[in-house]
Structure 1
Amino acid sequence: MIPQRIVLGSVAGLASAFLLAACGSSNHDASSADSGTAMPAATAASDPAISASATSAPADSGSSTGGHLATTTMLVARAVQGMGSVVTDDKGMTLYRYDRDQANPSKWTCAGACTKTWMPVMVSGPVRTSGVEKSLLGTVHRNGMKQVTLGGWPLYRYLGDTKAGQMNGQGKGMQWYAVTPTGRKSAMTG
């Protein structure tokens, strides 16, 4: 009985250490104000290279993001049967836009609990593209970080997509849609 408690205690301690390390490596600047305005892609290209990871990282609980973030280094257009072309990140995860956001000027409205399900796609440097028009890329400020926009629309990843190529967020709440290479919302095709 006692060895079992020691093992459980050790596992809990290791899990806590990993979570603290992940939180400590976050690039949040909670004291920065959000401007909610778009930045041209050329400005984003002058930043240092961004993380090659497309995994989620816990956000600062005091920020207006309040959930998770996703980072990417590349936007790729992929053909999906019955959906046409949609945009994915460098790990093949489908990217979405939210109808409540604004495209011109770019402004995000998904904050707090929303970002626990819909992770803002953040960048801190240039983003490569394949099949996506680079001139349509931009960023919008979000707590001292930059959320990537396409055609003016802020981009998100859906927590319910656990594998590359999934589109489980398509049409959620009749407000979330996979984004096309031109920034439009994806719709079923014939």
Structure 2
Amino acid sequence: MRTPMEAFTDVRPAIDCLDLLTAPVAEALRGWSGGVPVTEVRYVDTDPDKADTAVLVADYGSWLLEQSANCVVVAAKRGGEVTLAACLVLAHTRADVNGVVRRHFGARKASFAPMETATGETGMEFGGITPIGLPADWPLLVDAAVADAPYVLIGSGSRRGKIIVPGKALAELPGATVLEGLAA
């Protein structure tokens, strides 16, 4: 099976590229802990105009679609309370926000958070939001297929660049819960 690293000519440890990452992502890598060494988290420099998954896979290889994951910010509402969280699903699927996410939080309603909220609360750019470096109190819902993947291509916090990380490392991120059927 091919890995996302095969699609790029310059793959470096992300810890060596902190100056290319947003502050929250760089800080998370500096404080990395878990079973997967931080040197296994890789960075590839990509054109910001190719940040969107469809454009990226059209340029670097359609096979990357199966090995890419998207991180979306959701807002779950219950009573007067709003819980912001992130969901990580393979790029060829969609997060089941109105079903699995809503039930997981016991919310009356769950929806994608407005772009301004997602970028303002994470300190990341739209189109590059990543589960690495999310606010410490946020839940992170990871689809089981992502956690089981040998390597996954994800955002880097900005539209420029991508991160390649073992799926099991994503399941170990702060606040992470692995859910079967998160993706539809």
TM score, norm. by length of structure 2 = 0.29
TM score, norm. by length of structure 1 = 0.28
